[in-house]
Structure 1
Amino acid sequence: MGAKMGQIVLIICIMISTISAQENRDLESLRGLKRAWKNTPPSWDDGSDPCGGSWDGITCKNHRVKKILLPNMGLIGDLPRYIWQFSELEILDLSYNKGLTGSLTSEVQNLTKLTNLILVGCSLTGPIPDSIGNIQSLNYLSLNSNGFTGQIPPSIGNLMNLNWLDLTDNKLTGSIPVSNKRSPGLDMLTKAQHFHLGHNQLSGDIPPGLFNSNMKLFHVLLNNNTLWGPIPSTLGLVTSLQIVRLDSNSLSGNVPSNISNLTSLQKIYLSHNKLTGPIPNLTGMNDLCYIGLSNNTFDDQFGVPSWLLTLPALETIKMHSANLKGELPAALFTIPQLQNVDLSDNDITGTLDISSNPSTQLQLVDLRNNRIGDFIQQSEYKHSIGLILAGNPICRENDVNDSFCRTPTKTAPYSTPYNCRSPSCDSGLELSPNCQCAYPYKGSIFFRVPLFSSLVNSTFYTSLHDSIMVFFHKEGIPVDSLSLKNPQIDPNDYLMIDLEFFPSGEQKFNRAGIIALVSALNLGTFIAPKEFNFYFFIPETETVYTFMSEISGNGGAKRKSSNIGLIVGSVVGGCVLLVLLVLAGMYSFRHKERAEEAPRHSQPFALWDPTSGSGDVPQLKGARSFTFEELQNCTNNFSEINNIGQGGYGMVYKGNLPNGQLIAIKRARKGSSQGGLEFKNEIELLSRVHHKNVVGLIGFCFDKGEQMLVYEYIVNGTLKDSLSGRTGIRLDWMRRLKIALGTARGLQYLHDHADPPVIHRDVKTTNILLDERLVAKVADFGLSKPMSDADRTHVTTQVKGTMGYLDPEYYMTQQLTEKSDTYSFGVVMLELITARKPIDKGKYIVREVKEATNKDKKLYDLHEILDPTIGLSSDLNGLERFVDLALRCVEDRGNQRPAMSEVVKELESIMALVGLNPAESLSSHLTSYEGASKDYDYPYSNDSLFSYTGGDSSTKLHTK
């Protein structure tokens, strides 16, 4: 027994010695990097432990370096040998360090466990080493935007797990490698979804063997090279393809007819080649939204191909200099989703007819430099469509000064709306959308193949903004707000948007925050909305970002590294003690673990000290913890003067934080039935909700036996109060439209972007609040229901809500869906135009409007029930479409109602119809609102926010 125990101890000691040696090899390699590079993070201190969490950009597991994430850190140097010595390294991201020069050596193959290699936007040169094909674990290879030369290594074909291959924007030459008996090739990458090889100097033909039916490719981007020869027919075998970019090469011959097999294709770019024969027939491509066939030498085509009219998703047609002749059919302009048409520099003749009922999405028709002699709609042309006829006979006639004969000026680009009353900051600081002064981190995001063409539709940008912010909050990345600016199509036909990120809680980001931000965008962990598709992010490198000062000496936070000699000297004696301690301690540990388990479930905050942040901290996304004393001080000791209401939850108090911010505090009654675990779950859910059209949770208090929720203070009360005239705020038609759109955007956020998605369950005018600029904010999640992915169709639940707003299908089946909120919102829309209660004196507003509607008459003959203060004497443009939408929302069957995303789009379309910019609904000027900001009573003083009653009725609904 003694001999066997001795063997066990010896084996353990050998293992510990080996592990210690490996750990110290990583430590020495990191110190080597520190010596080799300039501008390493100040936290890289020789006296601290790199795996102790104090070295920015270094992530360890079991004391081995797993990730090195140092994007845009201003590093200067080459790629030293130390970088290839981390045998457990999985992710290496050194992107956008322009000061990194030199070559990528063959030693890269030593990183045998590497899954992600990201060296984008450095200044690396020389060939890509053939040894890179030995890293079998590699999944993501991104070497774009460097100065790599030579050929694409055929060995890349050995990377059988590779999903993403991006070598764009280098100086690579030679042909595209395919496999043969002697060599591998890119055709062997059957798991790959992305071939991004554009903007190089690749030559030769596109090998037919590059494509096969076993591939799962989504993107093939070979644009801007010097490829010649025909497009291989094997391309038509890869039926998973969504984007094909072969433009700006010297390709010739006919486009293969089997390209129509690519029924999942969304965009095809064949412009700027030497293609001949007939224009390819793309019939059956029902997902195709972009066609680029310009600047080729196709056979003469009279009119446009008839199959164009059969593509339901088509948004953009670019066929300038494509040998088109004859007249254009009016039906071309009625394709439902059509936005942009460029048929300039052809031989189009005759009379132009853009149809009396063109696509509602149509924005630009460029027909310059053709032979069009007349325009049927000339006298009634209203500029809603950007039409360009310059260089046609119709514009050469005397006295013709129509706008369509001039090249239009660009419209003002989109930018994130700001709602700041006093937009001024100290020198060097910039104002954030949340009205805080800070130093933003700047960059640009590029979408190679967005699935839309309109640059003025704010819906897309709002969706992108909200998705990014939701992701940052979910991942704990310290971004307080985000500004999107200047969307434009760059020379590469990419959609480029400038981004400004503002730090959370500080004036500057620290290095850890920037590393987390840039790495998330580099690694593709953020998934953009489907309309934007795949992207890459380039930080601003013209100026070096000044990070927040590093704080040192904080209570001994730095851990001193272990000395190698000490480890070796003590390991033998320590091993024996270790074995004894492990055996003796297992029982004690398990006993203690069981003892702690019960109170930890019943008191989830028992180990959490809110002043130190230790223990079981709730996983919050932007909300802060207040002490009882803090809230006591800002409410004058919860005085009666500060008491602004009460409800089912408890009292509501108005408070004033030291920074001047007004808050509303919901204080639970003593002896509340809600336990600590439920309260923790609630604040974790509420803290994930961040949207300008949803009332925001600022924080909470779980201290001294108190449970309190702290919200932003909304000064202009509820929509119900304004419609009733109580506030003195006059709501004309335009303002009601903006309020409807803001509310719809808030609900769409809850349904589509909140994490987890949320069904509100009690949408009504008392739960819609108006801020000082009358921006609508959806309030009160007392009844809201979070959804898992499995719940997306419906949730079976007891019926809760307010009579008059309640979805009848939900009431009958007890199956709650997002369309239940749509129904309630439809009732709110009807309230907006009538100012009537949902149920009043036995009359139901939905039935009243349905019965009164006469679609053959102006305003649907609703004059008798419309609210007179809406402005009946003025032109109520769009009201009929508004009523149509409201009635669709209150259909009895949920599957006949639109989703809130569709409601938002229709409301934005109505706003555009009446001459309003939908984006302005988020940034209206305070001076335009009479009676705004009348701080008369806080809306939470309305007990209906707690008891869920409708109007003045006392009816409560809680049916099982």
Structure 2
Amino acid sequence: MSKTPPPLRLSLLLFVLISLPLIVISQSTDQSILLKLKAQWGNPPSIQSWNPSSSPCDWPEVNCTNGAVTGLSLRNMNITKRIPATLCELLSLTELDLSWNYIPGGFPSFLYNCSNLKVLDLSQNYFVGPIPADIDRMSPSLKYLDLGGNNFSGDIPAAIGRLTELRTIRLYMNLFDGSVPREIGNLSNLEIFEMPYNGKLAASRIPTEFGNLKNLKNLWMTQTNLIGEIPESFSGLSSLKHLNLARNNLEGKIPAGLFLLKNLSELLLFYNKFSGEIPKAVEALSLSQIDLAMNNLSGSIPQDFGKLKNLTVLNLYSNRLTGGIPESLGLIPAMREFRVFKNMLNGSLPPELGLHSEVEAFEVSENQLSGSLPEHLCSRGVLQGAVVFSNNLTGGLPKGLGNCDSLRTLQVYNNHFSGEVPFGVWTGLSLSSLMLSDNSFSGQLPASKLAWNLSRLEISNNRFSGEIPVHVSSWERMVVFKASGNLLSGKIPVELTNLSQLNTLLLDGNQLSGDLPSQIMSWESLNTLNLSRNTLSGYIPAAIGSLPDLLYLDLSGNQFTGEIPAEFGRLRLTSLNLSSNKLSGQIPDVFDNLAFENSFLNNPNLCASTRILNLPSCYTNMSASHKLSSKVLAMILVLSITVFVVTVLLTFFIARDYRRRKRCQDLSTWKLTSFQRLDLTQFSVLANLTDDNLIGSGGSGKVYQVSTNCPGEFVAVKRIWNTNKLDERLEKEFVAEVEILGTIRHSNIVKLLCCISSDNSKLLVYEYMANQSLDKWLHGKRRKLASGMGLARHVVLDWPTRLQIAIGAAQGLCYMHHDCSPPIIHRDVKSSNILLDSEFKARIADFGLAKILAKEGDQHTMSTIAGSIGYMAPEYSYTMKINEKIDVYSFGVVLLELTTGREPYCGDEHTGLAEWAWRLYSEGKTITDALDEEITEPCYLEEMATVLKLGLICTSTLPSTRPSMKEVMHILRGYGPSEGFEVKKVGRDFDISPLLGAATYLASYKRSKKVDDSLVYSV
């Protein structure tokens, strides 16, 4: 056994004795500096672990080497004050991360004194002003610099090119308005250069000097106002892996050398002005993503693309490509997303597509393709979207689609398909959109239940026959049902009137007969009804006149008789057609104007009070016998009314006596659980659950207004379960709402006063919201609401009120996400679940779908999909993994509603509001064009535009790019009142424009090869 020589042991001992005091002194000094730093920051709660009784090396945010502080990781610590110069007294500091805080002020030039700094991350803060022109005075050993997500402006200094040790520069999402300095090309060690979403930069070319960056691996310059061509020198970037120059104004041909770079894995050049053909020779066999969409490319798809065995995403849509699709693309084993829609491609589709790879998105619409659909598209069971409309495709739908449980949307309209639709397509577990119109499909609609989540069914202009099945009542989520121009027969089933979310119903041009169902009050959301060109008969139901949102009504070409119901006068129709029927009597006066001159043609027995519409006058040739018989008619009328009144009174007293006895018998079975002091009893609540007190209804029950023992005060009672048979889903909703609302208190969350339950009924009693829900004020129901409140004129919420509502709702959600332990996810945020008190202060309501997370940040998978059409985040409907970002998406839709005035599912014919707003922005349209015309006061335009942009960011397709509710609230409060909010206001100079565009591709370099965040359907 060897021994350490005595002289060496003595040397080691002396070294330890000398070093130990230095280490102790260093720790002590660094501790005092950090405690001083903490005090200067106002002792934020996030770093409470910093205390004099422990070593700084034991604090979780501090890294030490040999007892000296070398690194500070203070990411997302709610720091709201400037950085103190004290920081650079940490002499050994090499790494500093202050990202995702709220730090204001200009660039902290005192950091020049941090002489050993190698890593500096100041991203996602509120820094303003220019980056200093002498930034090269920073530590010469600086390797990592991240200033992204701030409000830096002016030029990017050329001096940055003298920090020769830099490996990484990130300058994304700022307000720079100069140009990109060519001096960056001098950084021979640079590996990552990212500065996307700097749309205010001056139009400039890509510096040719960038071709000197031989070690460059990532170059990301999306939306930086680049013009001209890609320099040929880029062909020499041998280390390049990721190139993203999307959303610029680049033009010319794509350099052929890019496709020869051996290490290139991602080539993203979409949304530019490139022209010419795609280079034919492809030797970059590492390519996994190619996105050349939305350019002016011509020619054919290169055959060599079939060699790219690692290719997962191929986006070539919206170009001018011709020729066929190479069959070799169907053999690529890694292919997941294939999008070539909106070109001029012809020929047949690769027959083996989907057989060798897990294809998730297949979009080839708007081409000239022929032949049949690939038989194996869903052979791996992961296909989520097949979008092939507007081609010349023939044959039947592949049988494999009938077993495709992952399929969310199937859009094959405007082709030449024929035969029967595979039964499994109708009943798919995940299917939400089925669009088969304008083909030659035949057969009948299935007699069994359709896909439980189906919200859009379009089968117009085919050869479907038979009756509409009574199982139509199971289509609970149906929003659009279009079945025009088929051979459907029989009566319209009364079950169809139970679809409360139905927005559009088109059954024109069929062989339907019989009377219309008279009870259609569930169609409260219906705005388009077309039943023309059938053989329907009988009277037109008066209940149609009570549909609050109806705008388009066409009952022409039938055999309706009798009078036009007087209730039609309540409608605010933009289009009405009752022509070619057998109607008689006087038309309602509201239609007696030239706007409806073609609405009543070919009804010989109709008349009007005037001759404006060229109809006979209802007062012509009135004979004397009519006048003489008026006395007799009056006597009969009086007698009939007397008999009716006596009968009603007797019935009322008998029924009231019975109900009182019944309530007394059943009262003992009710249990009241109170959460605070009440001025009511369960008897007083139960006695007032009558139709006269009904103020709303939804998917899980009805809501009543009930008076308390205090005059003029009310409560709202929600009856969410009323059945003699156990309903497990509604029982869970009841438990969820009581569990959540009974334990939390916040001024922007509706108060649960008590719950009342029995074996077959569950009641929740809330504070009463005098102004009901936000959706009634924003959309078509506000006229009805204003009328019900005694307001004589059309009432529109002004912008300050809308902003107040947005801030209040954001505060409620922020409390749920960030201040509750564990966090609470609502899962059904929408304008109808935002209630308004008498002062229009917002409360979040309806927690029947809420989910409490076990641990902060966890993702939970739900067994069923919950939420509402138009508000659901795209990832939720197919992954069913939930976190706080699904609420952020839904709240973003609410912000879009507040700013545009549009309804969530009314973007246009095929899209929701979020998709419509994003497309409007991506097409370069002016933001102010989308704002609600009824409230566009000039002094509020800037605020409204900013909130609309915030709504866009919240509805980003990628969850990772959406802000947290704390950040959303922080931005909103920059434009509203600030009382009770700890973080300083953003201020009106805060510009979130650079964030736009990042919402889809901010995380593109960090995403895994498995694309599970989004699908970009061509509609």
- TM-score using structure 1 length: 0.40
- TM-score using structure 2 length: 0.38
RCO comparison, higher one (Cα < 8 Å, 6+): 1
Q: Bigger radius of gyration, 1 or 2? A: 2
